[in-house]
């Protein structure tokens, strides 16, 4: 046996456990979801093949609205995360005393168990006793208590703010790392030529951050699109379904109502959207790196 | 003290602007913790008094004592959280160390595609695979056991762990492997005796990030695949408490703070590793 071949075999032996694990726990269930989505699987003993019925049902119901809402929710959440993240990274990148401590203080929302951070927000949004409503009343911006989670429009934004809060630390630290990787001599050269701080930020920092911004938006997009814990803990998709995103609806249908087949069809739709995002991401990044080589 | 470089000198109004910006940013990040902590100090009667008061009057740590009786399983939930995270981390390391080494060192056909496939797993974490996973867990007969939470948890922590460790191992000079090979060491011996000791710092970072990921994200599987309160991890245990008609907020907040204390200690002790580990790969070399 040649050295080359034994190396390849060894590499596969090393990979085998991880590959097997992911195949059984992720790949097989993925295929199973597709198959289930064409059946009427439920708690009943028998399962029948029903063709496209589940998909027809999805589009006949109010699901189009749910899809639309999911996109709006995701769009605002990701955009706000990126804006606050870049803002935070810029501030933390400034060479001022105390910055090591400030960096440390950005981490908690992301390190503590998500559910616990969400409980705290649940209290903050409380109309009678919560901080936000209380402060708004004290400074005279509101006449009475606002129960943020009891009304559709405020609950929608409240869940977005909580999602932003959980996502911001990662975006900030990631963008900070990207900023620190920009060669210092670029700034020094611009500075010698008399460029001001703001000009340097706009003409050096921002353009060089674009690849990292795209990567982070993508990661953030996938996480936000799949976001379950926040909405489930705060509103369970209510009131009147106004915070029901695709994931929440899938969970309700499949786990709540035990309609596995219909739930699977929703899950397949989510997978399709996620794949489209990924495809778009690879197109954009490959175009970007081609541009660099020209 | 050394003077900062001229380029980093700020005018007074720039300094004011930066600190104001940092203040606003950190207010957003830390407000829930401050509010949560103050709530945990307030006696329940005062908590529900209007108008809203920020500072607790007659604040005390009473809730930190009474919560142990109000949430009977509390100590058990914390233990479960730690137990599940520890086992998950151990399994992830056993699976990921060899795989990361294979990706870092060997050029075999399909390596790129396979790595991409691993990373794609991240796309499906969440509720998407819940239905078939539920059926799978039922088939294995592990519903309502620790395994029902450990098994899916591991799968979704593998991708980022492989990515991190692979990046780290690629920085280990290839000459070391070759020298060992010339001396007649087998592949396996090289991995165990040459690479593992050198990669220890990287493995430590991966272990910490995996543990934190496992500790932070115990919710959806634990909620769906386990209904026995003796196996519940902290977030799900407290969620049941959160969902009651009359939420005893000060105790809930006190319990939350005790529950996040371990994570906070970890941040302070290991922050240097964490930042480098979590942001590795941010910048393409």
- Other CB atoms within 10 A of residue A54 CB: 23
Per the CB < 8 A criterion, the answer to whether A82 and A213 are in contact is yes
Q: Which tokens hold the place of B181?
A: 């090979």
H/E/C letters for each residue in B99-110? Answer: HHHHHHHCCCCC
Q: Are residues B188 and B127 in the same domain?
A: yes
Please report the pLDDT score of residue B236 as a whole number.
87
Shortest distance between the Cα of B126 and any Cα of chain A, in A, equals 6
If you search the block for the tokens 């803990």, which residue do you land on? Answer: A233
- Residues whose CB is less than 8 angstroms from the CB of residue A29 and which lie 6 or more positions away in sequence, other chains included: B129, B132, B133, B136
Of B122, B162, B271, which has the smallest distance from its Cβ to A104's Cβ?
A: B271
> Does the beta carbon of B140 lie under 8 angstroms from any beta carbon of chain A?
no
Shortest distance between the Cα of B218 and any Cα of chain A, in A, equals 8
Please report the pLDDT score of residue A61 as a whole number.
67
Q: Check A177 against B283: CB less than 8 A apart.
A: yes
Chain A residue numbers touching B77 (CB-CB < 8 A): none
Q: Check B15 against A177: CB less than 8 A apart.
A: no
The span from the CA of B202 to the CA of B222, in Å, is 29
Q: Are residues B34 and B109 in the same domain?
A: no
Domain boundary among B40, B60, B80: B60
B1 found inside a domain: no
Helix, strand, coil abundance in chain A, percent, nearest 5: 75, 0, 25
Of B35, B125, B267, which has the smallest distance from its Cβ to A226's Cβ?
A: B125
Please report the pLDDT score of residue A80 as a whole number.
96
> Does the beta carbon of B131 lie under 8 angstroms from any beta carbon of chain A?
yes
φ, ψ for residue A234 (rounded to 5)?
A: -75, -45
Of A30-34, B38-42, B134-138, give the lowest mean pLDDT range: B38-42
How do residues A164-223 score in pLDDT, each as one tens digit?
999 999 899 888 888 888 888 888 888 888 878 888 888 888 888 888 888 888 888 988
Residues 76-95 of chain A whose Cβ lies under 8 A from any Cβ of chain B: 84, 87-88, 90-92, 94-95
Per the CB < 8 A criterion, the answer to whether A226 and A247 are in contact is yes
Q: Which tokens hold the place of A294?
A: 């020209």
Locate the chain B residue with the closest alpha carbon to A247. B127
User: How would residue B88 be classed by pLDDT, with cut points 50, 70 and 90?
Assistant: very high
Please report the pLDDT score of residue A242 as a whole number.
84
Q: Which residue has the higher pLDDT, A101 or B48?
A: A101
Per the CB < 8 A criterion, the answer to whether B104 and B166 are in contact is yes
Residues 44-73 of chain A whose Cβ lies under 8 A from any Cβ of chain B: none
Query: What letters, b where the CB count within 10 A reaches 16 and e where it falls short, cover B222-234?
Result: bbbbbeeeebbbb
> Does the beta carbon of B173 lie under 8 angstroms from any beta carbon of chain A?
no
Chain B residue numbers touching A113 (CB-CB < 8 A): 81, 215-219, 234-235, 259-260, 263
Please report the pLDDT score of residue B278 as a whole number.
54
User: How would residue A86 be classed by pLDDT, with cut points 50, 70 and 90?
Assistant: very high
How do residues A117-148 score in pLDDT, each as one tens digit?
998 898 888 767 777 877 777 777 777 777 78
**Mean pLDDT on A237-250:** 85
B65 found inside a domain: no
Q: Are residues B56 and B184 in the same domain?
A: no
The span from the CA of A76 to the CA of A125, in Å, is 19
Shortest distance between the Cα of A137 and any Cα of chain B, in A, equals 8
**pLDDT above 50 for B281:** no
> Nearest-CA neighbor of A185 among B5, B285, B284, B283?
B5
Helix, strand, coil abundance in chain B, percent, nearest 5: 75, 0, 25
Residues 203-222 of chain B whose Cβ lies under 8 A from any Cβ of chain A: 212, 215-220
B273 found inside a domain: yes
Per the CB < 8 A criterion, the answer to whether A226 and B125 are in contact is yes
Chain A residue numbers touching B129 (CB-CB < 8 A): 26, 29-30, 33, 267
Q: Check B29 against A103: CB less than 8 A apart.
A: no
Q: Which tokens hold the place of A283?
A: 């197109």
**Local structure of residue A141 (DSSP, 8 states):** S
Q: Check B30 against A105: CB less than 8 A apart.
A: yes
**pLDDT above 60 for A294:** no
**Mean pLDDT on A151-175:** 90
Domain boundaries, chain A: 55-293
Per the CB < 8 A criterion, the answer to whether B100 and B202 are in contact is no
The span from the CA of A220 to the CA of A170, in Å, is 9
Q: Are residues B181 and B225 in the same domain?
A: yes
Locate the chain B residue with the closest alpha carbon to A83. B25
Alpha-helical regions (H) of A113-245: 114-124, 131-138, 152-180, 184-192, 197-200, 206-225, 229-234
**pLDDT above 90 for B108:** no
Q: Check B234 against A116: CB less than 8 A apart.
A: yes
Per the CB < 8 A criterion, the answer to whether A187 and A200 are in contact is yes
Of B106, B126, B242, which has the smallest distance from its Cβ to A226's Cβ?
A: B126
Q: Check B154 against A21: CB less than 8 A apart.
A: yes
Please report the pLDDT score of residue B221 as a whole number.
85
**pLDDT above 50 for B1:** no
The span from the CA of A249 to the CA of A244, in Å, is 6
Q: Which residue has the higher pLDDT, B262 or B90?
A: B90
Of B18, B52, B224, which has the smallest distance from its Cβ to A138's Cβ?
A: B52
Per the CB < 8 A criterion, the answer to whether B237 and B74 are in contact is yes
Query: 3-class SS at A46?
Result: coil
Q: Are residues B124 and B200 in the same domain?
A: yes
Greatest Cα pair distance, chain A, in angstroms, is 83
Q: Are residues B171 and B208 in the same domain?
A: yes
Of A87, A107, A123, which has the smallest distance from its Cβ to B25's Cβ?
A: A87
Chain B residue numbers touching A24 (CB-CB < 8 A): 136
Q: Are residues B146 and B273 in the same domain?
A: yes
Measured in whole angstroms, how far is the alpha carbon of residue A285 from the centre of its chain? 19
Please report the pLDDT score of residue B64 as a whole number.
81
Please report the pLDDT score of residue B165 as a whole number.
87
**pLDDT above 90 for B54:** no
**Mean pLDDT on A102-128:** 85
Q: Tell me the sheet residues that pair with A39.
A: A49
- Quote the percentage of chain B above a pLDDT of 90: 12
Interface test with B, best of A20, A25, A204, A232 (most B CBs within 10 A): A25
Query: What one-character-per-residue DSSP string does A226-273 give?
Result: T--HHHHHHTTT-STTTT--HHHHHHIIIIIS--HHHHHHHHHHHHHH
Q: Are residues B91 and B56 in the same domain?
A: no
Query: What's the domain count of chain B?
Result: 2
**Mean pLDDT on A92-105:** 84
Domain that includes residue B179, residue range: 71-278
**pLDDT above 90 for B125:** no
> Does the beta carbon of A119 lie under 8 angstroms from any beta carbon of chain B?
yes
Please report the pLDDT score of residue B53 as a whole number.
67
Q: Are residues B13 and B134 in the same domain?
A: no
Q: Tell me the sheet residues that pair with A49.
A: A39
How do residues B151-200 score in pLDDT, each as one tens digit?
988 988 898 888 888 888 888 888 888 888 888 888 888 888 888 888 88
B110 found inside a domain: yes
Q: Are residues B10 and B92 in the same domain?
A: no
Quote the mean pLDDT of chain A. Answer: 84
- Quote the percentage of chain B above a pLDDT of 70: 86
Alpha carbon separation from A52 to A35, A58, A249, A263, A276 (Å, rounded): 11, 10, 19, 13, 21
Q: Are residues B106 and B51 in the same domain?
A: no
Q: Check A7 against B29: CB less than 8 A apart.
A: no
Highest mean pLDDT of the ranges A11-25, B177-191, B203-217: A11-25
Of A8, A104, A120, which has the smallest distance from its Cβ to B32's Cβ?
A: A120
The span from the CA of B233 to the CA of B132, in Å, is 22
**pLDDT above 90 for B273:** no
Q: Tell me the sheet residues that pair with B33.
A: none
Q: Are residues B170 and B31 in the same domain?
A: no
**Local structure of residue B229 (DSSP, 8 states):** G
> Does the beta carbon of B187 lie under 8 angstroms from any beta carbon of chain A?
yes
The span from the CA of A220 to the CA of A217, in Å, is 5
**pLDDT above 50 for B131:** yes
* Cis preceding linkage at B51, omega within 30: yes
Q: Which tokens hold the place of B61?
A: 């740590």
Q: Which tokens hold the place of A275?
A: 């794949």
Per the CB < 8 A criterion, the answer to whether B169 and B190 are in contact is no
The span from the CA of A173 to the CA of A110, in Å, is 11
Please report the pLDDT score of residue B6 as a whole number.
66
- Other CB atoms within 10 A of residue A226 CB: 21
Q: A55-293 has which fold?
A: MetI-like fold (1.10.3720)
Size of interface A-B (CB pairs under 8 A): 289
**Assembly ipTM:** 0.85
The span from the CA of A248 to the CA of A268, in Å, is 14
Locate the chain A residue with the closest alpha carbon to B18. A91
């Amino acid at each position: 046996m040649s050295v080359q071949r034994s190396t390849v075999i060894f590499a596969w032996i090393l990979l085998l456990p991880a590959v097997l694990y992911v195949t059984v726990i992720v790949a097989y269930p993925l295929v199973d979801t597709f198959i289930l989505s064409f059946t009427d699987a439920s708690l009943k003993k028998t399962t029948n093949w029903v063709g496209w019925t589940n998909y027809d049902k999805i589009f006949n119901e109010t699901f189009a609205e749910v899809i639309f809402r999911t996109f709006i929710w995701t769009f605002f959440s990701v955009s706000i995360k990126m804006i606050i993240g870049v803002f935070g990274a810029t501030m933390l990148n400034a060479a001022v005393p105390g910055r090591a401590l400030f960096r440390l203080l950005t981490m908690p929302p992301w390190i503590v168990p998500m559910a616990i951070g969400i409980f705290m927000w649940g209290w903050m949004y409380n109309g009678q006793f919560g901080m936000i409503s209380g402060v708004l009343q004290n400074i005279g911006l509101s006449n009475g208590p606002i129960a943020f989670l009891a009304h559709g429009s405020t609950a929608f934004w409240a869940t977005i703010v909580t999602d932003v809060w959980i996502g911001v630390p990662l975006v900030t630290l990631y963008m900070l790392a990207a900023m620190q990787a920009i060669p210092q001599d670029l700034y020094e050269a611009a500075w010698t030529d008399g460029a001001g701080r703001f000009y340097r930020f706009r003409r050096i920092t921002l353009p060089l951050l674009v690849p990292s911004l795209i990567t982070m938006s993508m990661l953030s997009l996938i996480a936000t699109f799949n976001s379950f814990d926040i909405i489930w803990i705060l509103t369970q998709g209510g009131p009147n379904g106004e915070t029901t995103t695709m994931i929440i609806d899938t969970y309700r249908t499949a786990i709540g109502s035990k309609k596995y087949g219909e739930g699977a069809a929703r899950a397949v739709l989510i997978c399709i959207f996620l794949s489209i995002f990924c495809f778009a991401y690879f197109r954009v990044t490959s175009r970007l790196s081609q541009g660099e080589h020209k | 003290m050394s003077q900062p470089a001229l380029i980093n000198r700020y005018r007074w109004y720039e300094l004011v602007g930066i600190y104001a910006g940092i203040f606003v940013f950190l207010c957003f990040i830390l407000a829930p913790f401050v509010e949560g902590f103050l709530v945990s100090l307030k006696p329940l009667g005062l908590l529900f008094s209007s108008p809203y008061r920020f500072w607790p009057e007659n604040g005390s740590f009473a809730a930190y004592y009474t919560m142990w009786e109000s949430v009977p399983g509390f100590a058990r939930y914390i233990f479960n959280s730690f137990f599940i995270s520890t086992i998950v981390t151990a399994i992830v390391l056993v699976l990921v160390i060899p795989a990361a080494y294979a990706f870092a060192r060997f050029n075999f056909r399909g390596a790129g595609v396979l790595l991409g496939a691993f990373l794609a797993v991240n796309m499906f974490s969440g509720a998407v695979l819940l239905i078939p996973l539920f059926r799978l867990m039922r088939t294995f007969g592990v519903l309502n056991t620790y395994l029902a939470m450990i098994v899916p948890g591991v799968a979704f922590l593998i991708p980022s762990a492989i990515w991190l460790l692979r990046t780290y191992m690629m920085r280990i000079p290839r000459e070391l492997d070759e020298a060992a090979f010339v001396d007649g060491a087998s592949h396996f011996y090289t991995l165990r005796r040459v690479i593992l000791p050198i990669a220890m710092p990287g493995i430590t970072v991966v272990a910490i990030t995996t543990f934190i990921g496992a500790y932070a994200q115990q919710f959806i599987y634990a909620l769906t695949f386990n209904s026995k309160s003796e196996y519940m991890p902290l977030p799900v245990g407290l969620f049941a408490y959160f969902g009651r008609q009359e939420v005893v907020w000060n105790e809930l907040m006190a319990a939350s703070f005790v529950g996040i204390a371990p994570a906070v200690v970890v941040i302070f002790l290991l922050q240097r590793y964490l930042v480098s580990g979590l942001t590795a790969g941010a910048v393409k070399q």
